[in-house]
Structure 1
Amino acid sequence: MQKTIEATQRSLNTIRTGRANASLLDRITVEYYGTATPLKSLAGISTPDATTIMIQPYDRNTLNLIEKAISMSDIGLTPNNDGTVIRLNIPPLTSDRRKELVKTAAKLAEEGKVAIRNVRRDAIDSVRKQEKSGEVSEDESRDLQDNIQKLTDKYTQKVEQLLQEKEADIMTI
């Protein structure tokens, strides 16, 4: 369940807010010598100010490949290539776009909750199998199932908290 929380956090980090953040580019892969390579393996990524992301490739030959990968991605930013670095200007978000991003964040959080519930289901199934085979008593089985449910509720609440923080971040102008 903790891994699910971490994965949900990483997913939420890829949603852009009004500020430049290098984690926006975490999901972008570049076709490099026939292999899909993560962008951060091919270039240094920095944020010189709140509205710009600067990408400096380690190998200048990859500049056009990186530019193409960013253009083809779903982040909705247009790369500016000056021959040595690529700059991504982060435009201010409109209120409609903010609402769309909040919906996207809610969808990612719901996926995290579903993953937590799947872990709960697997754990409860395991406890029931142990009960049937006689490894644990019926009372122990109920106690374990209650503990699993309490743990599930705790982690679901953590996902909700992550979502609330991200929504506040997105809606802040």
Structure 2
Amino acid sequence: MKITEPIIKEAQEKMTKAEDSLRRELGNIRAGRANASLLNRINVEYYGAPTPLNQMAQISVPEARVLLVTPYDKTSLKNIEHAIMASDLGIAPMNDGTAIRLVIPQLTEERRKELAKQVKAVSETGKVAVRNIRRDMMDALKKAQKNGDLTEDDLRDLENQAQKVTDESIKNIDKITEDKEKEVLEG
């Protein structure tokens, strides 16, 4: 029985990581309101090296649909502006000489529906990852049983336990997805 406990614990940790990954991925989907995580993927050319924007500037949300990027080094303002324009955000930065304002445009109903579909697609990817983890866990349990480390009854109990862990993770993913869909559709 001792051999199998790490198998389930490891799978549970992997499923939690899959949920966290889903949260990060969904955080990148623009929902019509300002969110500092929109800028997480932007790298700025800074002294010849690509540097994450969130390490070069303070990113704040002064209003519901405005992001304010205040660089720690004012000389990097132009580079930050160029990096934002070159990104796939589709938002034009406004440089006032000390900071950059990004006004998030209001989403159309059609765009909201597209984003909701995108949320579902990303969510499904997360569910597939969880199912793959479950499959690997089941394979490891069956291998342990085949090696004589488990009886059939132990295997059945552990498979039930594994299914409960998987169901819980899928339920968490559904909740995360539901919250993001609501955010996208309400704007």
TM-score calculated relative to the size of structure 1 = 0.93
CA root-mean-square deviation: 1.4
After TM superposition, what 4+ stretches of structure 1 lie above 4 angstroms from structure 2?
Answer: none
Q: Structure 1 residue 107 and structure 2 residue 121: aligned?
A: yes
Matched, 1:19 2:4: no
Residue 34 of structure 1 deviates from its aligned partner by 3.7
Aligned positions of 1:31-70 closer than 5 A: 31-70=45-84
Residue 37 of structure 1: CA displacement?
2.0
* Aligned counterpart, 1:9: 23
Task: Tell me which residue corresponds to 2:95.
Answer: 81
1:144-163 equivalent positions in 2, closer than 5 A: 144-163=158-177
Shift of 1:68: 1.8
The 2-side partners of 1:103 and 1:34 are apart by 38
1:28 is displaced (CA, Å) by 1.7
User: Which deviates more from structure 2 when the two are superposed, residues 108-117 or residues 33-42?
Assistant: 33-42
Unaligned runs of 5+ residues in structure 2 are 1-14
Q: How far apart, in 2, do the equivalents of 1:98 and 1:140 lie?
A: 48
DSSP 3-state at the match of 2:91: coil
1:74 match: secondary structure = coil
- The size of the alignment, in residue pairs, is 173
Please point out which of 118, 121, 146 is paired with 1:132: 146
Corresponding residue for 1:169? 183
Q: Distance in 2 between matches of 1:85 and 1:140?
A: 62
Q: CA deviation at 1:36?
A: 2.9
CA–CA separation in structure 2 for the residues paired with 1:37 and 1:116:
32
Going from structure 1 to structure 2, the CA distance change for 1:42 and 1:145 (only over 3 Å counts) comes to: same
Aligned mates of 2:125, 2:102 — CA distance in 1: 29
Q: Which amino acid aligns with 2:47?
A: Y
C-alpha deviation, 1:170, in angstroms: 0.9
For residues 27-81 of structure 1, the C-alpha deviation after alignment (integer angstroms, 9 at most, x for no partner) is: 2222333433221101000111112101011112221221122112222211111
Using the aligned pairs only, state the percent identity: 48
One-letter amino acid of the counterpart of residue 38, structure 2: L
SS in 1 for 2:45: strand
Q: Counterpart in 2 of 1:93?
A: 107
Query: Partner amino acid for 1:150?
Result: K
Q: Secondary structure at the match of 1:55?
A: strand
- Whichever residue aligns with residue 62 of structure 2, its letter is P
Cα shift at 1:172:
0.9
Residue-by-residue CA offset, 1:85-119 (whole Å, 9 max, x unaligned): 11101111101111111111111111111111121
Letter of the 1:14 counterpart: N
